[in-house]
A and B are shown apart, each in its own frame.
Chain A
């Protein structure tokens, strides 16, 4: 009987080498243990199974071992098996299947901890504030949020998505704040996902965003504190198994201008930094285009001394200005891309090459004008101010778009491109909520709040677009 089962399972797993079949004999009873050696911890197998089984008394062995063990082992560790598919899933999830002659088979969890420990955030660093970050471990991630919001109002809905990967995805929300419609739409969208495998939260992000905008309409965060703050505002946080990034829905355009640091700093300084960020956004998108427009069409727009200066620098540069601008942008992107991909040790070589070849040699050789290097560098630095990679890439996309329009029609082209940009932004939606809120639809109070940070005591209202109950923060 047991041999038969063994043969069958072996056949189904195509003799996979990491599936271990171990036959033991205890008090004349044949027992078969099946587990995946790469996913299980041998200590757990010893502790939960072998130790318990060998010390069983004969009286019990003859009767129901499952019933006995479920009394002395925590319930979630020992589970019964529904059908064949369940059995295979359990083996691949790190359970050990125990099959006893003439008795009901059951599974005991003997998972190996395959993830790294909690580390500091890598992409969203901050000087002050907590220093823990999500890891690849799903349970740990939920725990990190639970640790911060210790109330039964924190709701979690779990789904399993991915036909092959069977990835667990959790929707976290605050029961007493969330707008039910928002939760319903997101849940429905997740239910309809029909995909092979979810290997990272960005898979879900891409499916939920479902638009062709370069701007990120869903923010990813690796910080449990950011996730908790968003939950308390009435947003939804989606955590995915094996992904150290949580998704926050809905995301507004103004959220991209807020850094983690903002929550833990003096409000006056935060306001100042935020204004700098908005300025940086404008510089990053418009500056190269403005330079192209002014130096090729609208010479009247700048003071004469500056104009003469520009003209002198252009002297002897062989390419038309727009080619120079696009070329330098391309060079910057090459540098950035290679710097990200390179391991840190060879990264220095790139910086040296970039600095010497572009900063000095290209100008000295007369291929580009120094002012163009300054303009492109300034706009690139401004765009790197944003920690969100999606935002940096969106800025790059629109920067090139603006340069091309400035090259076609000068300042009028820039205005035209601005109309397109504003139109594009206001047509976007994040989780069915308008992306440009609180600018459009207009809300004076929150427009002020996203630019000027008030004292935390005075920021006591939630955005009405996110919640229809519990509008006041402290009053829960």
Chain B
């Protein structure tokens, strides 16, 4: 009886296995996936990691480009198998790049596949190329083997998020969470290929762009991206370069603590953007003493003005394109559920009264006290 019980238990676990048995050497591990849409067909460009053992035991790393097309994305991925020997494996997808045509009309369909398919890893980073195709981004020289630096792109994305504040490193999972919420237009970092003077190409991660109504909107500029990241507390420390006494100075901003409050009073929307941020002097380039209280006040005023400027620019962008990057509608949806439908189709940035309150303090003046130069 005991033996039968154990046998039954073993039988039970067999259908429990979620994944299929698959030997590692039969997998084509896709590190980057590009999706394009052309002539009513999806084009898939997959960069497959391929490490070959040479006879003396060394390993040579290569990336091979797999390409296929199909009526749907899933079909296109299956079609890859017709041409290549190994099974496509998306469980370690690091980067998903959406091409120009997708950005213009097919984002919803793409996300439907990416969310629905359990094979796709949800912690990969998502990027959009608004200007070129994804195929071109992944494989600019149109080679069979290339070395699209997936890891480098990931780490430069991470660094830029932390240290310049112009992009936001967003995993597919985080992006989808924002995407599925009501009243918020999620942003995606933009990638593109720049041509150098000597005809070599160069991958550049630029700024952010919101996704609205199945379409990637106009790209934010640097100031607007910084404003977005400040309000969402995304970076560690960044440098801004305001003017002070006819000289460009460098100020490091760090530790942003921001919050948006939206209230409805007498059918009027009042929005407060409260930002508390710490600053330190980075380059002063003139003979001033940052420890002097008056100078400090002046510097703080300048930082405030600069940041206000950035945020105003972001608000203007929102007014212009009617996209709700900061998620004001989402706040209303959460706090004033009944009134939400009245505001659903309005542009809150033109309707509401937006106040920007910035508190800043210079805590450190750098390693020298007085400006010597």
Contacts and interface: CB of A to CB of B under 8 A. Distances in A.
Contacts of B53: 312-313, 315-316
A303 to B, nearest CB: 8
B18 A314 contact: no
B9 A311 contact: no
Interface in A252-296: 295-296
Contacts of B18: 410, 412
Contacts of B16: 409, 412
Contacts, number: 82
B24 A310 contact: yes
Given A300-B92, A300-B121, A304-B94, A311 B24 contact: yes
B13 A296 contact: no
Nearest to A404: B10
Contacts of A130: none
A304 B48 CA distance: 12
Interface centre among A295, A298, A409, A412 (most CB of B within 10 A): A409
Interface residues of A, number: 28
Contact of B23 (A304, A313, A321, A364): A321
Nearest to B15: A409
Contact of B17 (A307, A364, A412): A412
A216 B357 CA distance: 71
A300 B16 CA distance: 17
B24 A299 contact: yes
Contacts of B49: 304, 308
A408 interface: yes
B17 A314 contact: no
Interface residues of B, number: 29
A297 interface: yes
A309 interface: yes
B39 to A, nearest CB: 33
Contacts of A313: 53
Given A312-B53, A408-B14, A416 B9 contact: yes
Interface string B1-42: 000000001100110111111111101010100000000000
B140 to A, nearest CB: 23
A413 B18 CA distance: 11
Given A304-B31, A311-B51, A408-B10, A320 B23 contact: yes
Contacts of B51: 308-309, 311-312, 315
B106 to A, nearest CB: 27
Nearest to B86: A311
B17 A409 contact: yes
22 contacts: A296-B21, A296-B24, A297-B20, A297-B21, A300-B121, A304-B29, A304-B31, A304-B49, A304-B92, A307-B29, A308-B51, A309-B51, A310-B24, A311-B51, A312-B52, A314-B23, A315-B25, A364-B57, A408-B13, A410-B17, A410-B19, A413-B13
Given A308-B61, A410-B18, 8 more contacts: A296-B24, A297-B21, A307-B92, A308-B29, A311-B51, A313-B53, A314-B24, A412-B17
User: Top 3 closest A-B pairs, CB basis?
Assistant: A312-B51, A314-B25, A304-B92
